[in-house]
Amino acid sequence: MRNDMTPDSDRATFSAEDERWMRHALALATQARDRDNEVPVGAVLVLDGEAVGEGWNRNIALSDPTAHAEVNALRAAGQKLGNYRFPGATLYVTLEPCAMCAMALIHARVGRVVYAANDPKTGAAGSVFDTLISQRHNHRIEVQGGLLAETAAALLRDFFRQRR
């Protein structure tokens, strides 16, 4: 079940561990910006309290339209665990997943997604589409949005402001 998707959503719904992992995802987003001059989005996949995969946007660096932070985190987890499914895992990501990433998360059987900023143009976790919780799929993902949303949104705003 998803919570209120506004940036000021009830902080009590997030644990200290949620905040810890989202701060890690934000550090990965900063790495995307600083190291690769990519749109600053970071993601970390956590299973049983351990980071099993992490990623950041690498579309430009890899000349790959699928190299979103979430997909890169899933790929890293697959390599580490020798599997393509991650039941019970939580993905922390700094921007609401798009439709492509949402479907990858469904296919990977991720249990939960926690994201920071809404994506009002392509968000597939409640802003534009409800892909992660759609009854049409054989797997639904628990979704919580808004954790450290303003921090993530500011990172994105500043990035695009500097590019203009």
Residues labelled as active-site residues: 70
The tokens of 11 are what? Answer: 């902080």
Give whole-number Cα distances, 114 to 36, 60, 73, in Å: 24, 25, 14
- Give the other-Cβ count within 10 Å of 157's Cβ: 11
Give whole-number Cα distances, 38 to 13, 45, 61, 106, 134, in Å: 31, 20, 8, 25, 30
Per the CB < 8 A criterion, the answer to whether 125 and 142 are in contact is no
